[in-house]
Each structure stands twice: as C-alpha cells, then as structure tokens.
Copies of this chain bind each other. A is one copy, B any other.
Amino acid sequence: MTKRATIVGGGVIGGGWAARFLLMGWDVRVFDPDPEAERKIGEVLDNARRSLPGLSDVAMPAEGKLSFHETISEAVAGSDWIQESVPERLDLKRKVYQTLQEHCSPDAVIGSSTSGFKPSELQGCATRPAQIVVTHPFNPVYLLPLIELVTTEKNDAALIERAKDIITSLGMFPLHLKKEIDAHIADRFLEAVWREALWLIKDGIATTEEIDNAIRYGFGLRWGQMGLFETYRVAGGEAGMKHFIAQFGPCLEWPWTKLMDVPELTDELVDMIADQSDAQSGAYTIRELERIRDNNLVAMMRALKTQDWGAGALLRVQDKRMMPAEPDLLKPIVTVSRAVPLDWTDYNGHMNEARYVQAFGDGTDKFMEFVGCDEDYIANGGSYFTAETHIRYIDELNAGARIRVETICVLGEGKKMHLFHQMFEGDRLVATGEMMLIHVSLKTRRASNPAPHIEEKLAKVAAAHAALPRPEGIGRAIGVIGVKA
C-alpha cells in the first residue's frame, strides 16, 4: 500500500522533504498557509526530478501523488510520517504540534526539521511527547543523505526504530543522537566556522570567494569523503591516532580562533558580505547555482559510488534494496532500468557515447550475475571479459530519460557468451549493443571454461532466447549507418 507523508511548512526544506518522499513513491500532503507554497515546492520538485533518479543505478518507484490542503486536520489524515519545517520559533512549533496531535494517528512519526531546538523543548507541552522527534535534514534534502535523528527518553522505542527504517528506506542516513544537545552536531561545527568566517571578512583578511576557495580546494574535498577524524587518522600515519593527538593537541591552546566574540552585524558588514558574494557568484542566478550545485553533488556522489565509500556506499546499499526480482526467460531480459544521470551528458547536450557502453556493460554485469557469475564467483577467480563490442547509436538521450536495456543471449557455449542489448526510452529504440565475451581465469588472465552451474544456466537461457524473434542488426559491421539522416 502506498505510504503517506504530510509536510507542514513548505519552504526550501519542506519542499525538499516533499520531493524525497514523492520520488521514493510516497503520497505527499502539504499544509502551508503561504499562497506561494505550491509554486515554491514545484520548483524544488523540478530540481529533485532532474537530479535524484540518476543517483540510482536501478529504477526508482513510481512517483507518489502530491496534494495541497487548507487545514492541518485534512493534511495529516492517514499519514505515516509528518514532517514539520515551520520557522524556528518555539511557541509556533509547539502550537503546530498541539493541532497536529489532535488530528493525526498516534502511530505516525512527527519529525521536526529544527536545526536549533532540542527534542525535549519540542515535546514540552505536547499531548503525546513520545511521538515527536528531531529529524534534521541538510539542503538539498533530495540529494544529501544525512538526517540527524535526535530523541529523548520520552520517545517510544518502537517509534524510534520505525523512524530509522523509514529514513533508511528514503535513501537517507539516520544519525541517531541518543543524548540531546543544542544545535545537534553538524550545526555546531557550521556555527563555529561561520563566526570565524565573519571575522575574516570584517578584518579584511579574506573575501567570501577566498574563504570558499580555502575550503573547496583543500579540506572540503577531504571532508566530503572521510570527515575529520578518519582524515587525521591517515595524516597521523603509522604512529596512529594517539600520537597525532599528542602532537597536534597543544596547538589547540593557541589563541588562533576568535572564538567567543561575534562580530556585530552592522549594515556595513552585511553590505560587505553581500557585495563580495555578488562579485563571486553574481554571474549566475540562484536557479542556475542550484542546478550547478546539484550537478556537482550528483557527480561527486556517483564518483564515491564507484569507490563504494561514504555517501556512495549508502547509494549502493539503497540500489540493492530497490533491485527487481528474477526475470521471465521467455522474454528478452530487462537488465537495466534507470534514469540518465546528470553527469552522463556531454558538450553536444546528450548522453555521451561512452555512457551507452557503460549502460550496456551494466546490463552485461546483471546478466552475468543472473547466470551465476556473481560477486562470490568473481572473488573465487572466474569472470567474463568483453572481447568485442559493436554499438549503433540510433537516437539521442537527454539527462533524466528513463532507459531500459533488454538483453538477448545469442550464444552461450564453452568460453563464449554473445549478447545483444537493445536500449529503449519507452517504445523508442535508442541504441543497440552487441557484445562478445570470453570467460577467463582471473589468476592466469587467460580464456577458460566457466563453472558447470554457469554453463548449464547459460545454455538454458540461450535455448529459451533462440525461440525469440531475432532483432535486426546482429552481426553487422561498421558502414551501414543507423542514424536518421
């Protein structure tokens, strides 16, 4: 059954939550008295639709239904999750919870996007404090996986587990803080850095652009994949973490940072920052910057996915959860079903030629897995290598296109595996990929026969596929052009 989420407060953060739920197949009901809410959420949703599906290497669920509601009571009816993202005023939030709890299911999770308040403060005057937790996300919510889940001893243990499961099922990472603290974890760091940055600008040491460059050309890249402590563990070298702290610790006593002081936000300082920021990024509109940011995040997160590390490791686990079941042998096997990611296009504005081969290669991997040449088998020293590939690029594909690869086994005998892939967007054939693979021993790196269970399964598939109609184009050489001319 389709799950239902309610979004209370639909700005950039609420809109991001709405997009995340919708694209993961949930129905979403929004309550926001702002007459602009529908437009604002629509814009966030546009950004999410172009960036999130391509993070995944399998098909996302069908998008849920989005609706807007005039009253909280209507918006929360039948919801499994209620996400509150109203402005950071405790009295307002408490009032919202009172109304919410009058109408919502007592089993629903009520999560707050607050970056500053502790859950005990939010639970303060509530009818059912056990139901209210902090689930603090990071912008853009539809791409970044981190959720700070902060609970108190008043929260129901089963509800906490349910909250974790749901956050995980959305492709996010629940970082559970069992002890509450002002501003949770990440925003404490952000505040410390922000204060220091304001001083650097006020004192004329650096501009906004210089500060950003100091971050993104240096430690920002380290932090994107390992964070603080693992980075220093590596820096400490063989001597280890203890040695590193002993060496570095005393520096912390030096009065480097401005620390306690906050520079007064005078008009002059605010103008200085705004002017510097215009000089740095004013060539782009905010909408353009949003898309640049999303392109960068998708490319970096997909890069980490190739390394199975950090945010990329989370994406891999999520893909495994969404992987489809066993195929029907009497049809061509659907070996790829995915969206074209933002980083697969090139200067011609369409999917790059190498990415067709990557998608067909993913199809080959899936087919190999299906006949038993899986991770375990490869770890034990057998695999298939591609010996030859023939691609016909029949039509263009844009970022975001939902593609499907259908695979036929032309031959599966002895060392040879001959596959013919067809790539479709809907009913439109966009490319064919013919591939000849050879089974090899990973030890000798030479051709060898596959294990009997693979040979058997392969023979069975090849026999079944021999009965299928042969697609046009098998066995062709370059020269006969398939492109529309």
Indicate if A460 sits at the interface (CB-CB under 8 A).
Answer: no
**Binary contact track A364-376/B, C-beta < 8 Å → 1, others 0:** 0000000000010
- Chain A: number of interface residues, binned into ranges: 35 or more
A299-B303, A482-B388 known; A249 vs B235 contact (CB < 8 Å): no
Pairs A–B under 8 Å by Cβ, sample size 10:
A194-B252, A217-B311, A220-B223, A230-B277, A253-B262, A295-B307, A388-B390, A388-B482, A389-B389, A390-B391
Q: Which residues of B contact A314 (CB under 8 A)?
A: 217
Q: Which chain B positions have C-beta within 8 A of A293?
A: 222, 225-226, 231, 234
Q: Which residue of B lies closest to A201 (CB)?
A: B229
Q: Is A173 an interface residue (CB 8 A)?
A: yes
Q: Are A181 and B197 in contact (CB under 8 A)?
A: no
CB distance from A368 to the nearest CB of B (A): 10
* A348 interface neighbour in B88, B418, B442, Cβ under 8 Å: B442
- The one of B273, B296, B388 that contacts A226, using a Cβ cutoff of 8 Å: B296
What is the count of identical protomers in the complex?
A: 2
Tell me the bound Cα distance from A278 to B181 in angstroms: 25
Is the beta-carbon distance between B393 and A388 smaller than 8 angstroms? yes
Tell me the A210-225 residues at the B interface (CB within 8 Å). 210-225
**Structural contact, A349 and B221, CB atoms closer than 8 A:** no
In the bound assembly, the distance between CA atoms of A232 and B437 in angstroms comes to 50
> At the interface, yes or no: A78 with Cβ under 8 Å from chain B?
no
Say whether A216 contacts B223, CB under 8 Å. Answer: yes
- A64-72, A325-333, A355-363 - interface stretch: A355-363
Let me know if A378 is at the binding interface, CB within 8 A: yes
Q: Is A479 among interface residues, defined by CB-CB distance under 8 A?
A: yes
| B-facing residues in A235-251 (Cβ within 8 Å) | 235-238, 240-242, 245-246, 248-249, 251
